[in-house]
Structure 1
Amino acid sequence: MSLQHLTEKTYLKFSKIEGNQHIASDYALKCVSRLIQDFQLQQVLEVGIGIGCIADSVLESYENIQYTATEANAFCLNAIKKNITQIERIKLYNDLKQIPQNTFFDFIIIDGSDDSLAEVKRMCTPKTIIFIEGGRALQVVSLKKIFPKVLHAEMLSDYKNPACGPFSTQAWCGGGQLIFPYPNFKMRMYYLKEKWATYLKRKKRKANS
């Protein structure tokens, strides 16, 4: 099964689960998978695992991923035990401050709120990539203050929400925010590609609105 089919399978699975109104979009799951593949990312931190949609998608798609997550909500903590097939592969903490010092990640996914977001700086290496699911403008602003040289690009879809999900089929499928805290040459080229892709997709959206 291709990675695209795996993400679509996960989206369909979580679309039928209680709490589905807050799951990641179909396109956001594809963005996460694409970034893991393009940059060969292995050490993943998800800030706000929710009911487990992104985590389940990643763990079902990649065998070599080491996954850490935070979550404090009681409903979500109970839900992930049932929802995530490979829950035993996840190191789970209540918040970022609980993660031990000298712990580093090459991919940080922000999929929820955390008052200690500034803690991510100590967990980053020069190769770390951050993906913020959805809009979350306040978190983008916060990260730009934490990382002054950051490069930020939107990752937008060019299609509407699929009928199988909990979101309106009249709305464009959500994506996310790509953050390069310490951009190297490859990251800069990737950033420019995403900026151009976003420009073209916005034109397509406008033409089809």
Structure 2
Amino acid sequence: MNEFKIASKIYHDYSFKEGNQHIASEYNLYHILKYAKEKNVTKVLEIGTGIGTILSLFQEAKKEGFLKISNYIGTEANEFCLEQIQLNCYNHDHSDLNSSIVSDGSQIDLNGFELAIIDGKAPYLEQVVTNLLSENALILIEGYREDQVNRIKSVLDLNKRPYDYFMRFSTWRNPPYGPFHQKFQAGHTIFFLNPTKNDREFCGKMRRLARLRYHGRKVVNFRSLVKIIG
């Protein structure tokens, strides 16, 4: 299975689960897999696991041999979400992904995460950025959370840590199923720490094309193109 098929399967499955207002967009699931594959990610930290969409994504990618991910740690304190994570991610898990859920950042007992996914208030965001990430980590912020983007930039600047980033507007229309009724799926902001020359060129290209892509999505449903190509 490729990244589109895995992301589409997980999004479809979770669209019909209780608490589906807590799930990640299909667009973000797809790009999370692409980033993880391109950077050979093995350790993932998710702040705000919700009902387990992204954990299931990595379990499926591991099971299908798409990623060689070894460790996942997520944070979640909501009792309803914790119950759903157990039902959705652990009762029928056939992957060998080493994963755990903790209630807050003080309980994270691992570091060197190559990918951090932020989808929540994250009161301990500064601790994550300063102490828990690998030298060349990626930080992905779901949605358009300007406050969290600015917090991350402030911490990285304070620690004099090189980075580049861009905001990725979604170019995919929502499928007919699922909990989201707006026309387009949610996008994300992605940070590259200690970026390579290729990383900087990629970020620059995506920033230059942002306006074109934003207006182009009104004409073309890029999801359909990816589905055909993938």
Return the TM-score normalized by structure 1.
Answer: 0.90
Matched residue count: 206
1:72 aligns with 2:45: no
1:106 aligns with 2:123: no
> What is the alpha-carbon distance in structure 2 between the residues aligned to residue 195 and residue 58 of structure 1?
28
> What is the alpha-carbon distance in structure 1 between the residues aligned to residue 131 and residue 154 of structure 2?
14
Residue 146 of structure 1 aligns with which residue?
155
CA root-mean-square deviation: 1.9
Residue 227 of structure 2 aligns with which residue?
none
Residue 181 of structure 1 aligns with which residue?
193
> What is the alpha-carbon distance in structure 1 between the residues aligned to residue 172 and residue 84 of structure 2?
30
| CA drift at 1:206 | 5.8
TM alignment of 1:4-83, pairs within 5 A = 4-63=4-63, 64-65=68-69, 66-83=71-88
Q: Is there any run of 5+ residues in structure 1 with no aligned partner, and where? A: none
| CA drift at 1:191 | 1.3
> What is the alpha-carbon distance in structure 1 between the residues aligned to residue 139 and residue 168 of structure 2?
12
SS at match of 1:145: helix
Asked if the contact 2:111–2:134 (Cα under 8 Å) also holds between the matched residues in 1, the reply is no
Asked if the contact 1:31–1:175 (Cα under 8 Å) also holds between the matched residues in 2, the reply is no
> What is the alpha-carbon distance in structure 2 between the residues aligned to residue 3 and residue 74 of structure 1?
31
Q: Which amino acid aligns with 2:35?
A: L
Divergent runs of 4+, >6 A: none
CA distance 1:119–1:26, shift in 2 (3 Å): same
Among all aligned residue pairs of Structure 1 and Structure 2, give the percentage whose two residues are the same amino acid.
33
Q: Deviation string for 1:29-83 (max 9, x for gaps)?
A: 0110110111111111111111001111122013521211111111111110011
| CA drift at 1:22 | 2.2
Return the TM-score normalized by structure 2.
Answer: 0.82
| CA drift at 1:197 | 4.0
